[in-house]
Amino acid sequence: MRTNRLPLLLNGLLALAAWAAVLLLMNSVSPGPFSQVVFLVLLFLALGLTAVPLAYALATKWAASLGRRGNLHRAMRQGAMAGALGAVLMGMRFLGVLNAWVALALLMATAVIGTLLELRFR
């Protein structure tokens, strides 16, 4: 039986590289509009790539199996949604329009979109 060990290991290495790029950007570039956009893109990558192995581990423990490739695709989809949510929340924080109610509404919208995508790709 084949496992997803190699893709998850590569994903973890890419996540470390993305977090290193975020730290390098934060410590070497002065804040500006372009650097904020680059920061949001790197944050999306770092959060998304970090969430994939966590989502995969939780899905193998508690969710119904979708097969070897299906489980990995579900984890990637959930990681991308987590990264997008984090980047949108940080972007809204940059703009000064983020409060607790907006964050809660976006979290609930992400949960609904995740559920709809789960039903669509089942």
Burial label, 52 (beta-carbon count in 10 A; 0-12, 13-18, 19+): buried
What does the domain layout of the chain look like in residue ranges?
A: 5-120
- The pLDDT value given to residue 11: 93
* Geometric angle at alpha carbon 29, from 28 and 33, rounded to 5°: 160
Distance (Å, rounded) from C-alpha 43 to C-alpha 45? 5
- The pLDDT value given to residue 79: 94
Q: Is the pTM of this model over 0.85?
A: yes
Closest to 71 in 3D by CA, of 84, 50, 55: 55
- The residues of the chain scoring below 70 in pLDDT are 1-2, 64, 68
- The pLDDT value given to residue 119: 87
What does the pLDDT look like over 68-82, one tens digit per residue? Answer: 677 888 889 999 999
